[in-house]
Structure 1
Amino acid sequence: MSDRPLTLMAVHAHPDDEASGTGGLLARSAAEGVRTVLVTCTDGRCGDAPDGTKPGQPGHDPEAVVAVRRAELAKSCGILAVSQLELLGYGDSGMMGWDTNEAEGSFWTTPLDEAADRLAALMRRERPDVVVTYDENGFYGHPDHIQAHRITVAAIDRLADDERPAKLYWTAMPRTTMDALISRMTEAQQQEQQEQESEQGGRSEDGGPRDGDIPPLGLPDEAISTWVDIREHTDQKFDALSAHASQPDNAFFTALGRAEFARLLGVETFVRVRDTTGAPLPEKDIFAGLR
């Protein structure tokens, strides 16, 4: 074993992805003395403005959104005790099919070699023992998540054998957890609908999700290789998500309240795809075999 502190590198697409996907892992790792390096690939310009203005709507100022999201990211990193933040600075590509996918400077249009070379240089400098990013579908098909996956794999393949991380993981969610979240989300939507009906004195036609509307999401539980208990750090994850207040997608999670948030999201899960340690699976420690 080396005297050098263990280093974790998380490669994420946007400001706030670090909190939703790996907030607990980053906080737990820092508390255990692991050096944590967060790579954020895009500037988040296709996010909502603080007043709720959507991309493409009048009044949406991408540069102002970038500034707000950069400040939110810095606050989140402080909460999660991230050792080092690296910004690649590519333009947020927006959701798949948006015109912004093809905008000049977007991450989606960036040549793979260019971005992979930059990330490989960071890896050579930081020497991560463990790298975490998304699977080949970017977890849910977002072009920037897919591109983050691609450049991470390509960057590692550029490294010499003695420079490569010992372990590589994809973020993942077991189907049981996803089903519980969908159930809770449906319940919240139904409650909101009932409140609207009461205010309107009638019945709304929009009944929210129905059976069959939502395809199966997440992975079968047996496909998950790594289950990391983050219950001691769910307050940090909750606060990190809250720091990204300009993005309404986080509101559902923070609306759960701390207790239910910890109950539903007290474990972060991953799929191990490369390993040189021989640590047995399933595992409860992403650094198993390294300490």
Structure 2
Amino acid sequence: MTDRPLTLMAVHAHPDDEATGTGGILAQYAAQGIRTVLVTCTDGGCGDGPEGVKPGDPGHDPAAVTAMRREELRASCDVLKISDLEMLDYADSGMMGWPTNDAPGAFWQTPVEEGAARLAALMRHYRPDVVVTYDENGFYGHPDHIQAHRITMAALDMIALETAAPETAAQGTAAPETTAPASKVYWTTAPRSMMQRFGEVMREFGEDMPEPDPAETAAMAEIGLPDDEITTWVDTTAFSGQKFDALAAHASQGENIFFLKMGRERFGELMGMETFVRVRDTTGAPVPENDLFAGLR
């Protein structure tokens, strides 16, 4: 037996991603005494600069943006009471199709095996019971989200291989006895019914927003999953204030964080439920479930 605390590891692409989709669970499980580990894969250098200057525009300094966003991320972690922050510091790749996708050092250009090896080392250190990341499309097709998914699943496979056959561990050495694969692995998602509500609320609060064209509407309709395919519904409404404040900590990106415009009360109503699809499990806990740690306590 071990007195090691239960541990959640969330693997995200950029500073601010931790708050949007998992701020509720990070705050809630931290309050329950669970160790919460956040891995942020990129430096966020393709975010907005001071006064909203955009990447590629005159005056946008990726190094300065990176430094600013690092401090904002730490502030967000403080709000969410995250136990441990690990930053892989790959260069932000920008949105799909941007020239920064191909820049040297961009996360999108990093060999999956390299990123997975670094992440697997963190998994050996923290020994997470539950791991959360994105689906294979990075939820909405962002290259860094897709890459975060790829390295996470590859790292989990590395750990599983080492545990099953220690003699095949990296560099010919046996894996530490305490290393074990995560008991449960989840991908973030959203119910399609909620995505429809998001669209309605965005138009309500964005008075100058044009009506979406049919192609955009069709693309939005493909994000997330049908409600009956979601395995895990975690009600984090009681922690929605912390989630809102964590998002607000990323003040430099406020123009891009639509959810802040709706105010704390409406935010809690719309963003209090966090949803996931369980993709790996050793506990046999029945689904649908309302706790990522069901079967572990």
Q: TM-score if structure 1 supplies the norm length?
A: 0.92
Whether the 8 Å CA contact 1:241–1:250 is kept in 2: the answer is no
**Partner of residue 109, structure 1:** 109
Pick aligned residue for 2:212 from 185, 209, 212: 209
Matches within 5 A, 1:219-234: 219-234=225-240
Q: Which amino acid letter does the alignment assign opposite residue 175 of structure 1?
A: R
Shift of 1:185: 0.6
**Partner of residue 283, structure 2:** 277
The CA deviation string for residues 5-30 of structure 1, in whole angstroms up to 9 with x for no partner, is: 10000000000000001000000010
Change (3 A) 1:210 1:90: closer
Whether the 8 Å CA contact 1:244–1:250 is kept in 2: the answer is no
Whether the 8 Å CA contact 1:37–1:86 is kept in 2: the answer is yes
Aligned-partner SS, 2:251: coil
Whether the 8 Å CA contact 1:42–1:91 is kept in 2: the answer is yes
The CA deviation string for residues 126-185 of structure 1, in whole angstroms up to 9 with x for no partner, is: 100000000000000000000000000000111133510000000000111111111011
Whether the 8 Å CA contact 1:41–1:87 is kept in 2: the answer is yes
Whether the 8 Å CA contact 1:14–1:44 is kept in 2: the answer is yes
Shift of 1:234: 0.2
The CA deviation string for residues 26-73 of structure 1, in whole angstroms up to 9 with x for no partner, is: 000100000000000000000011211110011100000001100100
**Partner of residue 35, structure 1:** 35
Whether the 8 Å CA contact 1:134–1:170 is kept in 2: the answer is yes
Q: Which amino acid letter does the alignment assign opposite residue 176 of structure 1?
A: S
Whether the 8 Å CA contact 2:205–2:262 is kept in 1: the answer is no
**Partner of residue 180, structure 2:** 163
**Partner of residue 54, structure 1:** 54
Task: Note the aligned Cα RMSD (angstroms).
Answer: 1.4
**Partner of residue 128, structure 2:** 128
The CA deviation string for residues 67-110 of structure 1, in whole angstroms up to 9 with x for no partner, is: 11001000000000000000001000000111100101100111
Shift of 1:212: 6.4
CA distance in 2, matches of 1:233, 1:149: 26
The 4+ residue runs of structure 1 with deviation greater than 3 A are 210-213, 248-251
Gaps of 5+ in 1: 194-206
Matches within 5 A, 1:169-184: 169-184=186-201
Matches within 5 A, 1:179-258: 179-189=196-206, 191-192=207-208, 207-209=210-212, 213-215=216-218, 216=221, 217-248=223-254, 250-258=256-264
Whether the 8 Å CA contact 2:42–2:87 is kept in 1: the answer is yes
**Partner of residue 64, structure 2:** 64
Q: Which amino acid letter does the alignment assign opposite residue 183 of structure 2?
A: A
Equivalent residue pairs, number: 277
Aligned-partner SS, 1:182: helix
Aligned-partner SS, 1:288: coil
Shift of 1:265: 1.0
Task: Decide which moves more: 78-87 or 109-118.
Answer: 109-118
Q: Give the share of equivalent positions with the same residue, in percent.
A: 64
CA distance in 2, matches of 1:250, 1:267: 21
Q: TM-score if structure 2 supplies the norm length?
A: 0.90
CA distance in 1, matches of 2:28, 2:205: 30
Shift of 1:121: 0.6
Q: Which amino acid letter does the alignment assign opposite residue 293 of structure 2?
A: F
CA distance in 2, matches of 1:96, 1:251: 19
CA distance in 2, matches of 1:125, 1:264: 36
**Partner of residue 7, structure 1:** 7
